[in-house]
Structure 1
Amino acid sequence: MTDQNDSQNLRYEQDPKGPIGQFFAPFAGYGVTLSSFFRPTVTEQYPFEGPFVEPRFHGRHQLNRYADGLEKCVGCELCAWACPADAIYVEAASNTPEEQYSPGERYGRVYQINYLRCIFCGFCIEACPTRALTMGHDFELAEYRRLDDIYEKDQLLVPLSEGMLQPPHPQVEGFSDGDYYRGAVQGPTQTQIDWVREHRPDDPSLATARPVNEEARQA
């Protein structure tokens, strides 16, 4: 190692920089800095503008719904098992004819995500068999209390879109949970709307619920 260093020093002594090279040496070292100095400013004016994130950015989670308003989560807990940080807690419950929140047999009665632990790796959304759990672009999760960083199910569920019907209500008659997953259900039926009107006449979603065309549904 000593011989190698001596040979390098000897080479530098034999080939010193000339006056011009010594003069421009500092400018060459700061070449990137100087070239960037004259470029247009790209600073984002956050929080007054933006934020601007990439389309596949992993932000806060959301629990999705089917077109008629039923929840996609079936309480399988695969997301909790896949989480390397143990940030997800799920408790499942059985659907009943009087209270059906998702197609099939079960739904997620309790769903919590602890954002003090979450590392936003996305393993949970890869494990979800029904695409119930996805990640959006919201990253503003700063809170004053640690307890507020534990999000409950009502905070994670996406709001009802126009035309959807607030669960619980029966699934579309004649359709299985597999039909729901394959996108065969395009919206609530008149039968579902009538069921909610009979059991919860004051439900606000009745004002915006729109039944799908029965002929199109059967096709």
Structure 2
Amino acid sequence: MGIKIIKRQGQTFKDKLFIPAIMGGMKTTLGHFTKNLKDVSNLTTIQYPEEQPTDVATNPRYRGVHRLTKWEDESEKCVACYMCATACPAECIFIDAEERFDGKAEKRPKEFKIDLLECVYCGYCVEACPCDAIRMDTGILSFTGSSREEFVVDKKYLMNNERAKDLSND
């Protein structure tokens, strides 16, 4: 019939102890350790959080703390369509809409809140927004607080977040 029987590997006592695999891993680790110990000048260390990393925020695929974009007259671009809240897998975006009278759209968010502790920073809200009103390009690498309520950011905070200065314009 053409059936080929292949002997299973790792059946010896030495293989079952995983000693060769462990020793191989230790050899690699010690090799890196001695290489870095001999030439310390190649090691880069930053004193986080006093010194923030600069290479992460300049990456075009970086997703950080959210911001709401504005029109030239400083009004929000958001039209409260709920697309971002619908696309969010963590369900951390909360919008309460109101009527808009400035002629830019029919409605706008009266309340726009994001719970940053529940957010998984997937970027689906940015992709779902039809009017490019929400972005994740602030360059804010860490967000700290002393209570849970401080991590629920509102429309005022999101509108005041500025885009990172070292990122290129779209």
TM-score (norm 2): 0.71
Is 2:128 the counterpart of 1:123? no
Match of 2:36 in 1: 36
2:90 maps to: 85
Equivalent residue number for residue 49 of structure 2: 47
How far apart, CA to CA, are the structure 1 residues paired with 2:100 and 2:40? 60
Return 5+ residue gaps in structure 2 as ranges: 1-6, 16-25, 163-170
| Cα distance in 1, alignment partners of residues 115 and 9 from structure 2 | 58
Q: RMSD of the alignment, in Å?
A: 2.8
SS in 2 for 1:89: strand
The question of whether the paired residues in 2 share the 8 Å contact of 1:70 and 1:103 is answered with no
Instruction: Measure the CA separation in 1 of the matches of 2:76 and 2:9.
Output: 72
The one-character-per-residue Cα deviations of 1:111-154 (angstroms, maximum 9, x if unpaired) are: 00011211111111110111110012213222111111111111
2:110 aligns to what? Answer: 109
Max radius of gyration: which structure? 1
Q: Is the 8 A contact 1:59 1:120 kept in 2?
A: yes
Q: Could you say which structure has the higher helix fraction?
A: 1
| 1:47-66 matches, cutoff 5 A | 47-52=49-54, 53-54=56-57, 55=59, 56-66=61-71
SS of the equivalent of 1:112 reads strand
Residue number in structure 2 paired with 1:154: 156
Q: What do the CA deviations read for 1:160-206 (whole angstroms, capped 9, x no partner)?
A: 9xxxxxxxxxxxxxxxxxxxxxxxxxxxxxxxxxxxxxxxxxxxxxx
Q: Which runs of 5+ in 1 are unaligned?
A: 10-25, 161-219
Aligned partners of 1:116 and 1:3: how far apart in 2? 46
Change (3 A) 1:84 1:4: closer
Structure with higher RCO (Cα < 8 A, 6+ apart): 2
What is the rounded CA distance, in whole Å, between the counterparts of 1:65 and 1:30 in structure 2? 54
Distance 2:128 2:70 in 1: 17
Residue 71 of structure 1 corresponds to 76
Partner Cα separation in structure 1 for residue 69 and residue 93 of structure 2:
16
Question: Matched residue pairs, number?
Answer: 140
Kept in 1: contact 2:68–2:161 (CA 8 A): no
The answer on whether the counterparts of 1:74 and 1:106 sit within 8 Å (CA) in structure 2 is yes
Can you list the C-alpha shifts for 1:24-74, whole angstroms capped at 9, x where unaligned?
xx8776212211222423011223322322423211100011223231111
Q: Is the 8 A contact 2:64 2:139 kept in 1?
A: yes
Q: Give the percent of matched residue pairs that are identical in Structure 1 and Structure 2.
A: 30
- Distance in 2, matches of 1:36 and 1:123, equals 40
